Amino acid sequence: MTDHPISETVARQLLVPNSVKLIERTQGGLSGAMIWRCSSRFGPACLRCWPAQHPQPERLRLIHTAISRARQAGLSTVPALSLTPSGASFVSDGQRLWELTEWLPGAADYLEHPTPDKLAAAAFALADLHQAWSRDRQLGVSPTIQDRLARLDFWLQPTQLNRLAAQPAASQSIPTTPQLLSLPPSPQYGTAQTTSQTSDSTRVHATLQMLLAHGPPLRERLVAIAPQQVPLQFVLRDVWSDHILYTGEQVTGIIDYGAVRIDEPATDLARLLGSLEPFDAQRRQTAWAIYREKLDTSCLPPALGANGVQGTEFQRVDLLDHVATLLSALQWYQWLILEQRAFPGPTSLLRERWDLFLARLRSNWPP
């Protein structure tokens, strides 16, 4: 049934008590997780085997606490957890952690079939989730801002800049950097249509240009707001188009809680809206307004102006999206070029993601 043995412990404690029958192995994304679609006594179910490296048991307990609180608030868009006879929400086989959750209905099809109603539904669903998690809200400095400042400082070191600059120059037979960054979006992925004709050296050169143009001013803006106290609570952190399931125009599932932690809700808005509407700032702002209308105002981020002074709340979301887009381009450079990391799936799709971030930087935030 599978190419990975399911231990007797997992079967005895998780599968048998819940009358689980495996149906098929599905894609587990880039994390290395293994996922099976199943049937169970509660209905369609998802069996997940987490990667060996993460999360640790304490971390998974935190993730499951966040899921349980959302379910207690009545959110059907969050998958219910199945328990062992002893009441545990996961099982260890000695190497990996296993969990069984509800298999939520729907398809992650916003990019293929975008509509205003679907965008609004995503904003409403995220607002509902943030509202459910807001009961333990506290004030503090933003972990997201601290993390992104540290990552920007790393890439702006002279050693890293020199490493990027040392990559071979792009060939004259392939598009120049401005051409690379201004190509039209792909209808399916919303990315620049460059993967088949662009060399990695061109991508590296474009990434260096974007780092030099965007890095220092972004760092200045982050430094200005780093001491600011903001609402902190559970947030998803990795909520993007592939993790929002639709049935028709309605959101029927939000999946993948592996990055959950205590942070500022604005980081989720930046991640989600930037992935659903990567090249349309007006639609992103419209979705933000819908989210803002639904949410308790005490959950909202502080207003932010262009230089860290008073301005609009959406400007903070846009700033987080901007810096995350730059850092994501740099992350793909690190993974694909420096580390030569292997990922499941075609490498062309990975480079397409890199192209997307470069195209977004030029389109949304021209220097």
Q: What pLDDT was estimated at residue 183?
A: 41
Q: Would you say the C-alpha torsion 341, 278, 35, 68 has a positive or negative sign?
A: positive
Other beta carbons less than 10 A from residue 302's beta carbon:
16
Radius of gyration from C-alpha coordinates of the chain = 21
110 within a domain of the structure (yes/no): no
DSSP strand pairing (43-49 vs 34-40) = antiparallel
pLDDT value of residue 33? 87
Same domain, 55 and 139: no
**Same domain as 128, residue 92:** no
Q: Final residue of a domain: which of 67, 102, 137?
A: 102
Residue 180 structural domain: 116-364
User: Buried (b) or exposed (e) across 91-112, using 16+ Cβ within 10 A?
Assistant: bbbeebbbbbbbbbebeeebbe
How many structural domains comprise the chain?
A: 2
- Position 10 scores a pLDDT of 95
96 and 133 together in one domain? no
Please report the pLDDT score of residue 194 as a whole number.
Answer: 47
Do both 275 and 351 map to the same domain? yes
Structure tokens at 336: 């694909």
- Give the dihedral sign, CA 279/192/125/258: negative
Polymer length in residues for the chain = 367
pLDDT (tens digit, 9 = 90+) per residue, 209-243? 999 999 999 999 999 999 999 999 999 999 999 99
Same domain, 34 and 142: no
Asked if residues 227 and 141 have their Cβ atoms less than 8 Å apart, the reply is yes
Same domain, 93 and 185: no
Is the domain of 122 the same as that of 29? no
pLDDT of residue 159: 87
Q: Which amino acid is at 205?
A: H
In a domain, 109, yes or no: no
Contact 268, 176 (CB under 8 A): no
- Compute the distance between CA of residue 101 and CA of residue 139 in angstroms, rounded to an integer: 32
108 in a domain, yes or no? Answer: no
DSSP 12: I
Supply the pTM of this predicted model. Answer: 0.88
Greatest alpha-carbon span in the chain: 65
pLDDT in the model for residue 301: 66
Same domain, 39 and 162: no
Stretches in the chain below the pLDDT threshold 50: 1-2, 169-194, 305-311
Whether the Cβ atoms of residue 164 and residue 207 lie closer than 8 Å to each other: yes
Pairing label, strands 91-92, 138-140 = unpaired
Helix ranges restricted to H, the chain: 8-10, 57-72, 116-132, 143-155, 158-165, 177-182, 200-225, 266-276, 281-294, 313-333, 347-364
What residue has token string 């200045």? 220
Q: Give yes or no for a contact between 135 and 234, defined as CB atoms under 8 angstroms apart.
A: no
Q: Are residues 126 and 85 in the same domain?
A: no
